[in-house]
Amino acid sequence: MAKNTPNTPEEKPAINRREFLNLAWLASLGFFLVDIAGVTYLFSMPRFKEGEFGGTFTVGKVSELPEKGSAPVNIPKVKMWISNTDAGVMALYKVCTHLGCLYNWNDQEFKFICPCHGSQFQADGDYIQGPAPRSLDRFVVQVVDPNTDEVLAEAQEGVPLAIPNNPDAIIRVDTGQRIKGQQHG
């Protein structure tokens, strides 16, 4: 019998069923792990853009604000109410501090009322009555010069922001900085 020479190709044994199933299992496990890694990476990346909840939202110009003492303006895109009280402008988070329901403004009673359990709040977000443990949460409000993008005024602690006399100044709200309402009782 002749030995294999370099010019004669060696025959490879055919893959058996067990090896095929092992390879198929490992390949499917590899695809699964790559998918999980991709989803985890995309989920962990911040996606806050201007105008979205969690980022900076431009409300508009000072001249476009509601008049002092009028009903607050609902901005559902970013879950917020803009309230212009005698003390100044504030941005209120639209989620009740009791159990997270979305509360509404009541024009007849001139206050916020939560439809779930009846918590009530003043136009500036201060607690009136109900099961809510604290006043409404607020966001940081800024007044920005439209030409230089310089911050003219800012309310870091969630207090009402006095608006400067520049009607062209822009109002911005940072929905990424939520300030918890004051505890009561």
Whether the predicted pLDDT of 51 surpasses 50 = no
**Could you tell me if 27 and 98 lie in one domain?**
no
**Could you tell me if 116 and 40 lie in one domain?**
no
Confidence of residue 31 (pLDDT cuts 50, 70, 90): very high
**Could you tell me if 98 and 42 lie in one domain?**
no
Extract long-range pairs of 157-165: CB within 8 Å, 24+ residues apart.
158/90, 159/87, 159/88, 159/90, 160/85, 160/87, 160/88, 160/89, 160/90, 160/124, 161/88, 161/89, 161/90, 162/87, 162/88, 163/62, 163/65, 163/88, 163/89, 164/62
**Could you tell me if 80 and 158 lie in one domain?**
yes
Does 88 reside within a domain? yes
pLDDT in tens, 98-136: 887 888 888 888 888 888 888 888 888 888 888 888 888
Quote the domain boundaries for residue 117: 56-179
**Could you tell me if 128 and 65 lie in one domain?**
yes
**Could you tell me if 73 and 22 lie in one domain?**
no
**Could you tell me if 130 and 165 lie in one domain?**
yes
| Count of domains observed in the chain | 2
